[in-house]
A and B are shown apart, each in its own frame.
Chain A
Amino acid sequence: MKHVRVLLVDDEEDLVVTLAERLAIRGFDADWAVTADSALELLRGKTYDVAVLDVKLPGISGLELKNHMAEIDSGLNFIFMTGHGSQEDFMAGSAAAGESNYLWKPVDIDALAQKIKRMANRDN
């Protein structure tokens, strides 16, 4: 089976590294980046199925980054994570990102994995 390719972007390196490792254990091809620039760099060199983005990155919001990334790869799927705001912010963000593609930090790894899988499968 072909590995699902995931790009994780979060300014917390410890978090993003650990997440990438846990996803790898679950059979994903997970790469990570801590800045928007390095994420775009990676995207130019490789095709990913799903990008998991922090809502707030240094100097740029997750939604803006999503737009930049979509310009490079229009087929890319996005999932957002947030540690910020309330239930209401969460709902507002979800509406912008698409139903149920918005996760609250700390995320449940199995829920994340399932979501990624579902997205990748839908494309295939």
Chain B
Amino acid sequence: MAFKINLKPKFWDYRDVAAGPYRNLFSLRRIWYLSVFLTAGAALAPVFFLAAIDYQVTQKAIESENMLRLSRLVSNARRTLSFFLVERQSAMEFLSRDNSFESLSKPSRLFDILRNLKTSFGGFTDLGLIDESGRQITYIGPYDLDSADYSDQKWFEEVKAQGSYTSDVFLGFRRSPHMVLAVYCDMGGDRGFVLRATIETEDIHQKLLQVETGSVSDLFIVNHDGVLQTDSRSYGGILERLSVPVPERADSTRILERRGEGGETLYVGYAYIDETPFILMAVKNKSEMMRPWLKARRQITTYLLGSIAIILMVVLAVATYLVSRIHAADQRRVATLHQVEYTNKLASIGRLAAGVAHEINNPLAIINEKAGLIMDLLRPQPEAALRTRLIEQTEVISASVKRCATITRRLLGFARRMDVSVESVNLREVIESVLSFLRNEAQYRSINIDIQIDPEIPDFDSDRGKLQQVFLNLINNAFAALEDGGNVTFKADLISENSIRVSVIDDGCGIAPEDLKRVFEPFFSTRTKQGGTGLGLSITYGLVQEIGGSIDVTSRVGEGTRFDIILPLKPETMK
């Protein structure tokens, strides 16, 4: 809470009292809100906009890059697989053409060929020569397939019709996965033979594993019926049936988006391998693929939050600074207005007093002369009780008139125009003229006023009116601080050739240390309830500066207050 109060700017609760019923229009808090919201809005909107665009673009870019990568992976794997099969097929085609039926039918020759194939390509398990009618002529391999008859088998018809044949994968010798490759060699005139080889597909699996797949992808082969031709990480082992539908035929590599069994989104890339029953499939988890996106998203979010924080901080600081300046300017304006008003008020009172004094002087003169005439007429009269009594009364009238005359003269002397410039001033006379207005109050309250003026102080050039105001303000201040029966001392010393110090010292209640540094601030008052405006000392401060002096205050609570005014004896330093 204390932290909050410390952060609250001075203008927060400020209301321009001078604005009267329109004060709400001048609420600085509203100005602050307005500037903060408008500036922050204008600054943040483009940031949000750009961040949103960046978010979308980056997401799209990473997504399409992932697709591309998956597609490339599938294409590479497809090429590898195709190459594997085509290579072997071509080798067999070459052998069938390079060797005559007769030489191939020799087991020793076929054995050599199988050995060479194993050495050169690997993966070949057996090799068989089948004649036109489907009967196996020669067989080299682990199975007992000599003289086997394939004439009624579908693949045999196919190889004769198409020239080559690739079988599905099956678990063959030693329960390891195998497939059959067969090529047909047409010798012309309805004569031909078929060269048939069994190939271990473990090699295919190894080749696929060599393709860079990334840690989480699943790369496998299925046939057109959806039976797995290699092990799959997610769909089971070899020869199991794929739990998802076989993707539709396509000439090129394609990417599909599928939902996985756990509800996760999967990207499935696939390619049909020409002239084989195989479909190459790669499956990747979308969330894993989009992992780089998460990083980018975190960067965008961090950047956005950082920008918002900086913008808000700057906007708040700038708005607070500017509104504080407005507040300070407004306070100066109000203070100046009040000072002008105050000076005008004093001037008006002065003019009024002068007018009244003048108006009173003429009737006073008449009373004086009439009383004088009565005296003149009574004096020659014979001695009588009535005459004596009348003379006594008339003397009282004359004395009273004299007193009135003194008062009006003082009033006129005090209330001269406020803009009178520099003139020769007698310090004692100025102080006396000020005190003459307060003697009555001082008597009522038994306040003792002591004047100690260094006789060395000469008459000096200054602004008499301003000096009077300064002393009047200070003595009023002292009177307000004093208990009845207190003491006020005016003390003036020559402190250098060119300056004097006038001190107004009271033994009143004093000023608390925390208030002391603020006493010359406009509108600072501890007596607002007693009608204090908080302007007296601030105006005094201004006036002392105007006549080239300086003012200082020292005080102790319970012991009293001392104002020291340093005044120049020469008017050059006056402003």
Contact = CB atoms under 8 A, between A and B. Distances in A.
Interface of A: 12, 14-15, 18-19, 21-22, 25-26, 83-89, 104-107, 109
Interface string B401-413: 1000100010011
B370 A87 contact: no
Contacts of A107: 365, 368
A106 B413 contact: no
Contact of A15 (B369, B405, B413): B369
A22 B365 CA distance: 13
B409 A87 contact: yes
Contact of A18 (B364, B372, B413): B372
Contacts of B412: 85-87, 89
A61 B258 CA distance: 116
Contacts of A85: 358, 412
B158 interface: no
Given A18-B366, A106-B364, A106-B369, 12 more contacts: A12-B366, A14-B366, A15-B369, A21-B373, A21-B376, A25-B373, A26-B376, A83-B365, A105-B361, A105-B405, A106-B401, A109-B369
Contacts of B409: 86-87, 104
Interface string B358-401: 10011011111110110011000000000000000000000001
Q: How large is the interface on B (under 10, 10 to 19, 20 to 34, 35 or more residues)?
A: 20 to 34
B433 to A, nearest CB: 10
B338 interface: no
Contacts of A88: 413, 416
Contacts, number: 65
A86 B416 contact: yes
Contact of A105 (B365, B377, B413): B365
Contact of A22 (B354, B367, B372): B372
B362 A12 contact: yes
Contacts of B364: 83, 105-106
Interface of B: 354, 358, 361-362, 364-370, 372-373, 376-377, 401, 405, 409, 412-413, 416
A25 B405 CA distance: 25
Contacts of A87: 409, 412-413
Nearest to A54: B362
Nearest to B420: A88
Contacts of A109: 369, 372
Contact of A106 (B358, B361, B373): B361
B416 A18 contact: no
A111 to B, nearest CB: 12
30 contacts: A14-B366, A14-B369, A14-B370, A15-B365, A15-B369, A18-B373, A21-B376, A22-B369, A22-B373, A25-B373, A25-B377, A83-B364, A83-B365, A84-B358, A84-B361, A86-B412, A87-B409, A87-B412, A87-B413, A88-B413, A104-B409, A105-B361, A105-B362, A105-B364, A105-B365, A106-B365, A106-B367, A106-B401, A107-B365, A109-B369
B527 to A, nearest CB: 33
A79 to B, nearest CB: 15
Contacts of B366: 12, 14-15, 18
Given A88-B416, A104-B405, A18 B369 contact: yes
Contacts of A19: 369
A26 B412 CA distance: 32
A89 B401 CA distance: 21
A32 B408 CA distance: 27
B464 to A, nearest CB: 9
